[in-house]
Amino acid sequence: MKQIAFIDLFAGIGGIRLPFDELGYKCVFSSEWDAAAAKTYEENFGEKPYGDITKISSKSIPRHDLLLAGFPCQAFSIMGKMEGFADTRGTMFFEIQRILEYHRPQAILLENVKQLVSHNGGKTFSTILSILEHLGYHVKYKVLNALDFGVPQKRERIIIVGFRNLSKAKKFSFDFTPIPYSLSQILERDEDVDKSLFASEIIRKKRLARVQDKEIFYPSIWHENKSKNISVLPYSCALRTGASYNYLLVNGVRRLSSRELLRLQGFPDSFKIVVSHSEVRRQTGNSVCVPMIRVIAKKIKELL
């Protein structure tokens, strides 16, 4: 059986790639501009991703059957009929577009925040779907939640899957059996967690005073939102890169460890940590739910 070749764009730390590697796909090209993320990627996959994709020609990218990308969301402009690349030039989706135009792989998998659907009044998403159709892809999409894939993190993401072959596109389905999650399975023992991750006595007392009217249970994640309201939850809210250092506290007393952050995205414990804790926070906040991608990867493999 032919090995399916894929490319990994905006690769981050490899959350999209990981399940495809597990299933026997072959990565022939990867790209990530952030140096710290590239370091984590190289240590775990044995190859250094190429840098800024905007400076890499489509011709220099190897032939592939599948394009993977978790790309940044930016507004596009539409003026009347689609004027080739003019609508998206200057955005990161343009880089995907020009590579698809040149290589025409059999299938694509794109991942983004769920707000992509309503971004810029829905025009951004409409432009993406129109361009993919123009390039010959039959597309299906759905907003999926990491909580349904055995991961105790409420993280909703839009997944876009497309095939050049209409028959294969019709056969593809987002149907799956939800996998129960357990917060206790991803938590480390407090005594094994670095003392620097524990909140100060002042912060802990303030948090406790603000949840007296709520049901408190353990284990739990105490989430402080932008309005300073605290929720006691059996799961983590979505990991974010620019959030307050104390917006998520395990049992109201400590921050999540680097390993716990990776587990919340479904990375195995064999995944190497080679950067600082602050970098792990940023990298996991930018990453994807690995088990979610694994389910999609299996479905794509059945059709290619």
Q: CB–CB of 258/273 below 8 Å?
A: yes
27 classed as catalytic: no
Q: Of these residues, 27, 73, 237, 289, which one is catalytic? A: 73
- Using DSSP's 3-state secondary structure scheme, residue 254 falls into strand
B/e letters for 239-259, b = 16+ CB within 10 Å, e = fewer, are beeebeebbbbbbbbbbbbbb
Q: Apex CA 270: angle with CA 38 and CA 61, to 5°?
A: 35
Cβ burial, residue 118 (10 Å; 0-12/13-18/19+): exposed
If one counts every other C-beta atom within 10 angstroms of the C-beta of residue 101, the result is: 15
Query: Of 111, 34, 13, 25, which is closest to residue 66 (Cα–Cα)?
Result: 25
B/e letters for 178-191, b = 16+ CB within 10 Å, e = fewer, are eeebebeebbbeee
Q: CB–CB of 67/7 below 8 Å?
A: yes
Torsion of CA 194, 199, 200, 205, to 10 degrees: -140
Structural element, H or E, at residue 222? strand 221-224
Q: Which residues are catalytic?
A: 73
